[in-house]
Structure 1
Amino acid sequence: MTVHVVHHTHWDREWYRPMESFRARLAELVERICDQLDAGELGRFHLDGQTITALDALAVRPDLAARVRAHGAAGRLQVGPWHVLADNQLVSGENLIRNLLTARRVAADLGLPLATIGYCPDAFGHPADLPRVLRGFGLDTALVWRGAPPEHARFTWRSPDSSTVTAVNQGYYEPEVLWEAAGAPEKLDAFRAKQAARDADGPYLLLNGGDHLAPRPLPAGLAATEDTLAGYFGRIRDRVGDDAVVTGELRYPGDWLTFVLAGTLSTRLYLKQANAAAETLLEAWAEPLTVRAGRTSSAGLLRHAWNLLLENAPHDSICGCSVDEVHRENEVRFARVTQVGEHLVERALLDLGLDTRLAGDPVTDAAAIVVLNAHAAPSTGPVTVDVHTAPGHTVTALRDAAGAEIPYEVREVESTPLFCADLDILPDTRQTVRHRITAVATDVPAGGWTGWTATVAPGEPPAPPVGVPGRAVTRGDWTLTVADDASFTLVDAASGRTLGGLGRLVDVGDAGDTYTYDPPVTDEVVVPVLRDVRVHHGDVASRLVVRADLDVPTGLSADRTARAAERVVLPLTITATLWGDVPELDWHVEFDNTADDHRIQAHFPTDVAATTWHADTHFSMLERPLKEPLGPLPTERGHEADAGVAPVRSLSVLPGLAVLAPGLPEVQGIRGRRPALAVTILRAVGWLSRPDLRARTAGAGPQLRTPEAQCHRRVSASVGVRLDTDEATLAGAAARRRAPLRAYQLRPGRPTPAPVSGLRVDGALVSAYKPAEDGEGVVLRLVNPTAAPTVARISGVEARWTECDLAEEPTGGTVDPTRIPMAPYATHTLRTT
C-alpha cells in the first residue's frame, strides 16, 4: 500500500519561545522551503494550516514575497484554511468564523491560494460545531487528532445541526520516519504496519514534519508518493464506512501520546476572562453599534481589532501553556483590542447623537445618562454608571425618560480630576466628584437605549452603606443564608425548594503543569472559614457581603508528593446579590492569590437527581454525562486520565439548576447523591510541562519553569445562578450575562435621550450583527441553540434580507423576515441586499 507523504511544518507562533524569536526562525524556514522548491528537492509543501505564517515571515522578509507567491500559484506551496490555528474550544463561534474570513482576505492580499481542507492538527480537542463552521466555508473535510475517537482512522463527523465532514484522525508529528535516508525504508515499513493496525484498508497518510522543523526531501526509491492534503482526502473521501459516524464534540480519551490536555481550560484563567470580554466587546457592542451608526469608515479598525484578538487564539496562547513572556504579550494584545473596541463604541455613539466625552464644566443641576442594550430583545438588569458632578455637589435623584423616580444605590464616592481631550476638544482637566451608582434598568428597548436623568444639587454625597451584621436576607420568594464555610443556602418559597452549598469553594493541591491537573499523592482539601457577614438591603438589591479566610498550604512539599506544611491565609470577599426584577443569584468572589500549586473550584449542587448535564458551546447545547472528579490514573506510559472537566461557553445546566459563568470555561458535572456543577476559578502551577505526573504519564512539552502561571495576582470570578429549566430562556439569560446592560453619563449640557429601539429578533438569538466583509451591506446571524424548533422574526430595521453562508456568499433568495423557521441547533446567516 503506497504511503501518501505530505511535507509540512507545524508552526506554533509562540510557545516555548516568544513570538519574535519564533518569527526569526520562521523567516529562515520560508527561505529554505523556497530554495528546496526551486531546486526540485521538494515537490510540494504545506506551510501549516494558517495564513499568519506567511504574513509573519514576509513582514520581515518582503524579498521572499514574489517567490512565495509563485510557488503558491503553481500549487507547490499550500497555506490555510485558517488565519491562526486557534484552540477550537476556548474561543467563540464568531471567533472561528472571523478566523476563516481573515484567512481568505490575507491569502488574497498575499496572492496565495487557500488550502481546501479543514486542517486542525494540534487543537486540544474539537468542538461539536466545527463541522458546521467548516461547511459554512465550503470545506467538507477535517484533519483532526487530539480527542478524536481512537478506534476510527477516518469517519463521518456530524455536528448538532446535522452538518457533516469527512474526518481523518491522524497525528501530525512524524518527522523521524524520513528524517534520514539511512534506515528510512525500515521506518516507513514500521509506519505502514502501525497504520494498518488502525486501518487495514488504507491508503495511509504520512505527515512528514513536526513542530518548527525544516523539511527533509523524500529519500529515493521508497514506496511513497508526495501529495497534498487535498489530494489525499480525494482518495479516501468515498472510503468511510457507513457505521463510522461520530456526532458531537471530540474529547475522547486518546491512545499513546494522544493527550487532550484538559488542564489548559483553566491554566492562567485571567487570559480566558480577558478573551471572553474582548470577544463580547467586538461581537455585542462595537460591530452592532457600527452597523447602527452606518460608520463605514470603521471597517479598518474593526479588522485591526479582530486581527489582534485572533493573534491570541492559538492553542499555546489562549491555553496558557507557553513561557511567561508569551502571556505577558497576550495581555498587552487583549488591552489593545479593548482600546480599539471602546473607541469604536464611543465613535458610533457619537454619530448616533450620544456624546459620552465628559468635556466642559462639570454638572451642577442634572446629568443625562444613556442606558444601552446590546441584545435584540428588551432587557432588564442591573447597570452601573459613574456620574461626575462639580465639587460640592451630589446626586439626589434618578429618573427615567418619563420622569418617574428610579431606585438607586451609591456604591462609591471620590473626589477626582477628570481629563478629556479629542480631535475637537482641547485637553482639559476639571476637578469632579465621581458618584458610582447602581440601579436596575427595566425593559430597555431591543437593540437600542433609554435615557435617565440624575438630579444634582449642592451638598455632601452620602457615604456608601456599610451594611449590618446578619446571616440571611430575603427578597421576593428567595431567602439567602450564608453557612460557616461561606457557601449559601437558597430557599425558594414559591417552589418549596432548598438548595444548600451554593458557591462552596473547594481548594485542593495541584502537582501538575500548564497542561494537566495532577492531584498530589497526599492531598488536603481546604474550604473557607467564615469571618464576617454584612447584610445590605435596599430598593435596588439585597446582598450578603462575606469575609472569609482560606487557610491553604503555601505550595507543595519538596518531593511534590504532598502539600507543604507551611501555610498562608487567603482573605476572601464573597458577595451574593439578589437584584430586583431579576430571577438570578449573582455570586462574586475576589482575593489575592499568594499560594502555589493549587486549584480552587466553586461548587453549585442541585436538589434533583441527575445522570447528565448540559452546557452551551459555540452554537449548540450539548449533553454530557456526570462523572467522578478524576478518572482512573493511567498505569502505562504515554496516557492520561479523564480529567472530568469540559469546555463551556457560559451556561451549564443540571435539572433544576443553571450556572452562568462567562469567562470561566472549565466546568465539571460531578455525579453523586447531590449532583453538582464545579466551576474552576483558579488553577496555579509553576511548570510548562513535567514528565513525572500521575494523571499524564509523559511530558507534553519542554520542562521549563513558568512561575507566572502560579497566578500571584488579584483573582475575580462571577457566576449567576438560576432555577429556570427552559433552554431558550436560559440561553437568553446567558447572553445577557455575557453582555450586560451598559450606561454612560453624557457630555454636560446634553439632553436626556428618549427611548429608542433598534434590531429586534424573536424566536432566536443573534450571534453576529456586523458590516459585511466586502463592505457591501450588513450580515446578521441567527442562532437556535436549543433542541426545540422555533420560528424567528426580525423587526425594528428596514432591510431586504437574503440567505448566505458563513463565508457571506449568497446561497438562496430573499428571506421573509417575519417567518424564519429555525430547526434544532440551527444557524441562519443573512445579509442585506
Structure 2
Amino acid sequence: MTVHVVSHTHWDREWYRPMESFRARLAELVARVCDQLDAGELGRFHLDGQTVTALDALAVRPDLADRIRAHAAAGRLHVGPWHVLADNQLVSGENLIRNLLAARRVAADLGLALADVGYCPDAFGHPADLPRVLRGFGLDTALVWRGAPPHLARFRWRAPDGSEVLAVNQGYYEPEVLWEAASAPDRLRAFREKQAGRDADGPYLLLNGGDHLAPRPLPAGLADGVAVESTLADYFDAIRDTVPAGDMVTGELRYPGDWLTFVLAGTLSARLHLKQANAATETLLEAWAEPLTVRAGRAESVGLLRHAWDQLLQNAPHDSICGCSVDEVHRENEVRFARARQAGEHLVERALLDLGLDTRLAGDPVADAAAVVVVNPHAAPVRGPVEVDVHTAPGHTLTGLRDAAGAPVAYELRETEPTPLFCADLDILPDTRDTLRHRVAFVADAPAGGWTGYTATVAAGEPPAVPAGVPGRTVTRGDWTLTVADDASFTLTDAATGRTLPGLGRLVDSGDAGDTYTYDPPRADETVTPVLREAWVHDSAVASRLVVRADLDIPAGLDADRGSRAAERVVLPLTVTATIWAGVPELDWRLEFDNAADDHRIQAHFPTDAPATSWTADAHFSLLTRPLKAPLGPLPEERGHEADAGVAPVRSLATLPGLAVLAPGLPEVQGIAGDRPSLAVTVLRAVGWLSRPDLRARTAGAGPQLPTPEAQCRRRITAAVGVRLDDGEAAVTEAAARRRAPLRAWQLRPGAATPAATPGLRVDGAQVSAYKPAEDGDGAVLRLVNPTSAEVVATVSGVDGRLVECDLAEQPVGGAAAGAAITLGPFATRSFRVTG
C-alpha cells in the first residue's frame, strides 16, 4: 500500500502562452529545482518526459549546464525519453521514431542520461502502434492516461504486431496532495483511498506536480512507511510482477474516460490547416529529402536534415499540432512548418543536382525543347498524374510531349501566362528572365525509386488557348461514369461491376458551439447542404473532370446565447473538382472555398452500397478496425464527463466494404452506421474559444477560457480526397502511400538532356516506411512495413551494401539479409542497416 511519490512538472512548451513566455518561466523553474536538489529539499526530480525542456532552459541560462549535468549524472534529475511530448496520434510513426532518436542525440550532447520509462502522460489518446515504437527503443513500460481503459490501473498493452509493454493508467496532475504541509497527511490519506478503489493491492503512484508548477518537497514526517520519494523506474519495477495475465489491452487507447479524463477528440479537426501542413512536411522529409539524400550520398546534408526535423518536432506537442493553444502559438507553428519545408526542398534540390538533375532554371529560356524529369519516391513502379511548369522563351509555345524513349505522350495544357523567372545560387549570378509559363498535366510512368525523363517540344508561335470546359453534369472514362447531383455530390457508376454509388463527397454543414477541444452541436442546430450553381465538363486524352460551382448558404455564426445558429446568413461559394485520370482507378475529389462564417463544421460524406458494422483505417504502421457509430454518442448528464464524439484519427486511409477513401492531412473521420454506411471526413471545424465550461458534449472545461478568433479559420480552405471502389488491404494501402507522396516533376535547366529511365530502390512484397541516413553516419537505415493482416515476403534490390537487421534505435539485432527473402508478419515492421 506504499505510495511512490515522483516529484515532477508537466511542461507544455506552448499553450495558453507562447513558447518564449513559457521558456522564461521554465528557466526559473529549472534554476529553482537545482537549488532544491543542491539543498537536499528534493531527492529526485522528473523534468517531464522531454529533453527539449533542458535544451530550452539552457538556451537562456547556459550557466545552469554544469549543475544540470551533475544532478543528472547522480540520478537526481531525470529527462526523456522523448525529445518533445508529442500528440502521438496526429504525427506519423516515423515522426515518433525521429522524436526518440532526437532525444538520444540531445541527451548525449548535453551529457544527460535518459529516463527509461515510456512516459506519455497527457496525449489525447494513444495509438495502437505505440508499444511497437517504445519496444524498438528498448522501453518496455508506458505511463498513459487519457483514453486508457478506466477500470484498469495497470495492464499489459499489445500493439497489432504483438509488441507489448507494461502500462500504468495514472493521471499526472496531483499537486494539491502535498501542496500544503498542514493538510498533506489528510490529502495523502484521501489519495490512497481513491487509489484503493482502482487497485486494491498497491503500491500506488503519486505524480507530485502539474502543469508549469514548481515542486513542493515531501513534507517532513510523511514518509514513515506511507509514502516514499521515488522514481518512475522504481515504481514500474515494484509492480512488474503484479499485473494479472488477463489484464491485456490490444490496440489503440481511446476508451471513454471517467471523471475529467477527457479524450478531447475535437482536437483532430481544430485548425485543420496545421494538420495538413504537418502531413505535407512529414512526407517531404520522409519520402523525398531522406531517400534522395541517401541516394546522392550527401553526408554533408545530415545537419540540415536534422534541423528540418527539429523544426517539425517542435510542432508535434499536443497543444501545438492539436490546434488548442492561443492564436500566437499557432502563428509560430506555421512559421516552423515553413522553415522545415524550406530546408526540405533545398535538400531535395541539392540531392537531385548531385544525381545529375539540375532543376535550377538559370540561363536563356528554351526555344526548342525542354527536358522534364519525373521522380518516383516509392520503391515500386508508379503510374500517376503529374503537373509541371514549363518555362519557354516569350513568343513560344509547346508543340508536344515525348517520353524518354521518344514516344508521344498525351498532355493537357492547364495554364499559360507571362512569368518573370528569377534564379540565383552560389554558382549562379542573380538574374531575372522573361518567360512564358505553361502548366502541363499528364500521366507519367516512373520506375521504382528513381526517375524518368520527358521532352516538351517548343516552337515559335502563340500558345493555344487553354481548353475551356463545356456545360454539363456527366463525364465517362472507361467503365466509370460520373454525374453531379443538385447538392454538388457525385454519383459514380462502374459498368464493369454494375455498382452505382450516389452521394460521394456530399457536404454537410452543421453548427458548432464547442471549442478547440470538443465538437458541440448547438441545442437548436441546422444542417445545410450546398446548392449546385453550374457544372463544367473538361475532357481530354489525359483526364475527364467535372468542375462544379455551388453555394453553401449557412448561418453566419451562433446567436447570443450560443444555443442556436444565428439568423444572419452568409453564402460560401464552393468549387468542387472531380477528376478521373487515364489509367488510374481512382476518383480525385477536391474542394476549395473561402470560409467567411463562424462556429460551424463541414464534413464530406462518402457512402458505400454494402452493409457494414465496422470500418477500417490506417494508423502509424497498421490497419485498425473500429465499429460504426452514431454521429455523436449520448450527452453526459453528470459533471466532468464527455460524449463519445464518434470521430477517430486516420493517417490517410479509411475503408468500408467496397469503398476506400484516401485523405492524407485530414485526420478526423467518422464511420457512421445506417442503411448506407458512410465515411464522413471533416474538412473544416471553426470555433472561437480555446475552452468553454458550458458545453453539452463535455461537462467541464478542458483548459483556460480564452478567445481564439483565428481558430474560426477565416481563410482559404482546401481539401483533397481520393476514392477507390475496392477495399483489398494490399491495394488500398499502396494507393494510400501513393496519395501521401504522389509523383513530382521538374523542368530541368535549359540545355539539359532528357534523362533516361533510371531505377533505384525497389521492394517487392512490402512498403518502405523509411530510407534515411543512419544516425551514427555509417550508411543508411531501411525500414520495411507490412500494414496488412496477412504475412508477406519482401525482396529488396537497388541498394548498395548489405542489409543487417537493427531495431528502431538503429542498433543491430540480427544477421545479414542481403538478397534474401524477408518475411514480415501481420502488421510487422523490420529495420535494416545498409552498410558497404
TM-score range, shorter chain: over 0.9
Distance 1:694 1:68 in 2: 46
Q: Contact (CA 8 Å) 1:802, 1:814: kept in 2 or not?
A: yes
SS at match of 2:771: strand
The reply to whether residue 544 of structure 1 matches residue 583 of structure 2 is: no
SS at match of 1:521: coil
**Cα displacement string for residues 392-431 of structure 1 (whole angstroms, at most 9, x for unaligned residues):** 0011100001111111011111101100000000000000
Report 1:580-599 matches (<5 A): 580-599=582-601
Where does residue 353 of structure 2 map in the other structure? 350
Q: Which amino acid aligns with 1:503?
A: G
Where does residue 60 of structure 2 map in the other structure? 60
Where does residue 504 of structure 2 map in the other structure? 502
The reply to whether residue 667 of structure 1 matches residue 665 of structure 2 is: no
Q: Contact (CA 8 Å) 1:142, 1:165: kept in 2 or not?
A: yes
Give the deviation of 1:798 after TM superposition.
Answer: 3.0
Q: Which amino acid aligns with 2:287?
A: A
Where does residue 94 of structure 2 map in the other structure? 94
Distance 1:816 1:352 in 2: 25
SS at match of 2:319: coil
Q: Which amino acid aligns with 1:236?
A: I
Give the deviation of 1:725 after TM superposition.
Answer: 2.2
Distance 1:295 1:413 in 2: 37
Give the deviation of 1:466 after TM superposition.
Answer: 2.1
Distance 1:578 1:606 in 2: 19
Distance 1:116 1:745 in 2: 49
Where does residue 298 of structure 1 map in the other structure? 301
Distance 1:730 1:229 in 2: 42
Distance 1:124 1:73 in 2: 33
2:292 to 270, 279, 289: 289
Where does residue 195 of structure 2 map in the other structure? 195
Q: Contact (CA 8 Å) 2:657, 2:726: kept in 1 or not?
A: no
Distance 1:236 1:458 in 2: 80
Q: Contact (CA 8 Å) 1:6, 1:45: kept in 2 or not?
A: yes
Where does residue 742 of structure 2 map in the other structure? 740
Give the deviation of 1:351 after TM superposition.
Answer: 0.2
Distance 1:7 1:798 in 2: 50
2:369 to 328, 344, 366: 366
Give the deviation of 1:460 after TM superposition.
Answer: 1.2
Where does residue 383 of structure 2 map in the other structure? 380
Distance 1:69 1:183 in 2: 35
Q: Contact (CA 8 Å) 1:390, 1:432: kept in 2 or not?
A: yes
Q: Which amino acid aligns with 2:141?
A: T
The total of aligned residue pairs comes to: 832
Q: Which runs of 5+ in 2 are unaligned?
A: none
Q: Which amino acid aligns with 2:72?
A: G
Distance 2:687 2:727 in 1: 37
Where does residue 204 of structure 1 map in the other structure? 204
Q: TM-score, normalised by structure 1?
A: 1.00
Give the deviation of 1:703 after TM superposition.
Answer: 0.1
Q: Which amino acid aligns with 2:725?
A: L
Q: Which amino acid aligns with 2:243?
A: V
1:268 to 271, 280, 285: 271
Give the deviation of 1:220 after TM superposition.
Answer: 1.2
Distance 1:685 1:632 in 2: 22
Report 1:48-197 matches (<5 A): 48-197=48-197
1:720 to 711, 719, 722: 722
SS at match of 2:294: helix
Where does residue 432 of structure 1 map in the other structure? 435
Distance 2:74 2:815 in 1: 36
**Cα displacement string for residues 788-826 of structure 1 (whole angstroms, at most 9, x for unaligned residues):** 101000012232111000000000111143300110000
The reply to whether residue 810 of structure 1 matches residue 812 of structure 2 is: yes
Distance 2:323 2:808 in 1: 29
**Cα displacement string for residues 155-206 of structure 1 (whole angstroms, at most 9, x for unaligned residues):** 0000000000000000000000000101110000000000000000000000
Report 1:253-652 matches (<5 A): 253-442=256-445, 444-652=446-654
Distance 1:699 1:820 in 2: 51
Give the deviation of 1:221 after TM superposition.
Answer: 1.4
Where does residue 32 of structure 2 map in the other structure? 32
SS at match of 1:317: helix
Distance 1:562 1:797 in 2: 61
Where does residue 248 of structure 1 map in the other structure? 251
Q: Contact (CA 8 Å) 2:615, 2:655: kept in 1 or not?
A: yes
Distance 1:479 1:2 in 2: 69
Where does residue 44 of structure 1 map in the other structure? 44
Q: Contact (CA 8 Å) 1:508, 1:526: kept in 2 or not?
A: yes
Give the deviation of 1:832 after TM superposition.
Answer: 1.7
SS at match of 1:396: strand
Q: Contact (CA 8 Å) 1:795, 1:818: kept in 2 or not?
A: no
Give the deviation of 1:437 after TM superposition.
Answer: 0.4
Q: Which amino acid aligns with 1:392?
A: G
Distance 1:769 1:816 in 2: 16
Where does residue 8 of structure 1 map in the other structure? 8
Q: Which amino acid aligns with 1:407?
A: A
Give the deviation of 1:459 after TM superposition.
Answer: 1.0
SS at match of 2:318: coil
1:225 to 224, 228, 233: 228
Q: Contact (CA 8 Å) 2:768, 2:782: kept in 1 or not?
A: yes
Give the deviation of 1:461 after TM superposition.
Answer: 1.2
Q: TM-score, normalised by structure 2?
A: 0.99
Q: Which amino acid aligns with 1:520?
A: P
Q: Contact (CA 8 Å) 2:158, 2:250: kept in 1 or not?
A: yes
Q: Which runs of 5+ in 1 are unaligned?
A: none
Q: Contact (CA 8 Å) 2:507, 2:530: kept in 1 or not?
A: yes
**Cα displacement string for residues 312-362 of structure 1 (whole angstroms, at most 9, x for unaligned residues):** 000000000000000000000000001000000000000000000000000
SS at match of 1:125: coil
Distance 2:799 2:184 in 1: 65
SS at match of 2:56: helix
**Cα displacement string for residues 483-504 of structure 1 (whole angstroms, at most 9, x for unaligned residues):** 0000000000000000000000
SS at match of 1:556: coil
Distance 2:2 2:829 in 1: 41
Distance 1:725 1:90 in 2: 24
> RMSD of the alignment, in Å?
0.5
Distance 2:580 2:348 in 1: 30
Report 1:682-761 matches (<5 A): 682-761=684-763
Give the deviation of 1:657 after TM superposition.
Answer: 0.2
**Cα displacement string for residues 421-445 of structure 1 (whole angstroms, at most 9, x for unaligned residues):** 0000000000000000000002x10
**Cα displacement string for residues 29-87 of structure 1 (whole angstroms, at most 9, x for unaligned residues):** 00000000000000000000000000000010000000000000000000000000000
Q: Which amino acid aligns with 1:451?
A: G
**Cα displacement string for residues 563-594 of structure 1 (whole angstroms, at most 9, x for unaligned residues):** 00000000000000000010000000000000
SS at match of 2:328: helix
Q: Which amino acid aligns with 1:421?
A: A
SS at match of 1:457: strand
2:775 to 757, 773, 776: 773
SS at match of 1:303: helix
Distance 1:162 1:725 in 2: 24
SS at match of 1:277: helix
Distance 2:210 2:468 in 1: 60
SS at match of 1:500: strand
Give the deviation of 1:465 after TM superposition.
Answer: 1.9
Q: Contact (CA 8 Å) 2:492, 2:501: kept in 1 or not?
A: yes
Q: Contact (CA 8 Å) 1:491, 1:497: kept in 2 or not?
A: yes
Percent of aligned pairs sharing the same letter:
81
Distance 1:788 1:3 in 2: 45
SS at match of 2:669: strand
